Structure 1
Amino acid sequence: MDRQKKAMEYMNNKKYEKAVELLQAVIEEKPNDPIGYINLGNVLILLQDYEHAEVFLKRAIELDKEAATAYYGLGNLFYEQEFYQAAQKNFQKAIHLGLEEADAYFMLGMTFRNQGHEKLAFPYLFRAVELKPEDVDMLFQYGLSLGKMEMIDQAKITFLKVLELDEKHSDAHYNLGIIETFHEKLEQAKKHFERALEIQPDHLLAANGKEKIDRQLS
């Protein structure tokens, strides 16, 4: 196994310091290969060393201006720091350069959402789910987007799909409770709120929803 792959194995196993040490050796050995800089930048993001991560990712771009994964890494770096406009620009650049991956579309959608632009977020979340339909987090966020866009029936179908993949997804149950309340199906709504609370006893929104339903049914 070469050093790059071994470093990625360390990263996947959350042995970040070992990954950093190995990637530094890779860069010393191949100083003109952008991959080492990209991988090291990504590990440093996980360690929340954003300053040095930015340096390595930008060095990768200096070496290869079309390194889509370097722009994606910068997008993640800025997203983690809540610099959403900067994150947006880098995710867009990564996609423009051909990074046709669900994560890139998903993160771009989330940057738009965090800037209050749900209509702009929606198509990217939709594309992410197209590319990775079994990803629970992506599917759930897409369901939220459908709800925000007032596509209630489609949102319900999506949250039910989330539960097919993860029956203990408390937030999916909570949102289904909200949808059933909207449709004035109070008993069904109550069941979803109760299930959310069984899974997550400190789910305050579900507790509040159940309390309101109990008052209406009493």
Structure 2
Amino acid sequence: MEQIKQQISEIQDELQESPKDAQLLNELGVGHHMLGEYDKAVEAYQQSLAQDPDNFKVHFNLGNTFYEQKNIEKAVNHYLNALDIQPDYVPALNNLADVYELAEDEERALELFEYITKIKPEDPMGYFNLGNFHLRCNNTAEAGRCYKLAIEQDPEFYEAYNNIGFILKHLQEYEEAISYFEQCLEIAPDYEPAKRDLAACKEALADA
């Protein structure tokens, strides 16, 4: 926390010399956001955009701050602004999909999560996030398919192994679930969710 405050102070000193430096103003906004000083972050981002209105990352940052302030409409507007400038900017697509899901507009959320996998077919995170969406919607078969696609792109994606194991555990397919939890823990030995569920599956088999 003190380090962030020190960085903000240094940025403010630099802004004394270059008060219209869009990058410095963006960095100031990031600092205030990290401290939870959202009004100050909004002000800094808006000043940055006044100098560089086509900076999609600043629109994205501003959208995140408005989201933290529960100002969903403004958050969506700035995510959309970011995407107007950079249509394949995945962080904005992801956050916009999250907002639509929270608003119970599952159709639009799904459309965005699927779109990410189409524009970034080699990015395992897109399939993982799509899988998580399907899991939240209790679409377990489709969720499992997406996690397997994530693993195809990145065989070290231990969270995807864990999530497949989680699905199998709840289907009471304990032996197969154990296999996936063990694969997860081979990659990430300290991953607590997999350790807990692995133990639970072994216990369930012992009690069968």
SS at match of 2:78: helix
Unaligned runs of 5+ in 2: none
Q: Which residue of 1 aligns with 2:201?
A: 210
Structure 1's 191 and 165: CA in aligned 2 closer, same or farther, altered over 3 A? closer
2 CA distance for matches of 1:83 and 1:166? 38
Q: Which of 119-128 and 69-78 deviates more?
A: 119-128
1:125 to 113, 137, 144: 113
2 CA distance for matches of 1:166 and 1:195? 9
1 CA distance for matches of 2:43 and 2:116? 29
TM-score normalized with structure 2 length: 0.70
SS at match of 2:19: coil
1:73-152 to structure 2, matched below 5 A, reads 73-98=61-86, 100-129=88-117, 130-131=119-120, 133-134=122-123, 136=125, 138-148=126-136, 152=140
- Opposite residue 46 of structure 1, the aligned amino acid is M
Unaligned runs of 5+ in 1: 1-13
Structure 1's 23 and 165: CA in aligned 2 closer, same or farther, altered over 3 A? farther
- Opposite residue 143 of structure 2, the aligned amino acid is A
* Maintained 8 Å contact 1:45/1:53: yes
TM-score normalized with structure 1 length: 0.68
State, as a whole percentage, how many aligned pairs show the same letter.
Answer: 17
Q: Which residue of 2 aligns with 1:35?
A: 23
Aligned length: 201
Q: Which residue of 1 aligns with 2:7?
A: 19
2 CA distance for matches of 1:38 and 1:95? 18
2 CA distance for matches of 1:114 and 1:209? 31
1:62 to 47, 50, 68: 50
Aligned-residue Cα RMSD (Å) equals 3.8
Structure 1's 99 and 16: CA in aligned 2 closer, same or farther, altered over 3 A? farther
What is the Cα deviation at residue 64 of structure 1?
Answer: 4.4
Deviations 1:143-163 (A, max 9, x none): 112445676555323323545
- Opposite residue 115 of structure 1, the aligned amino acid is A
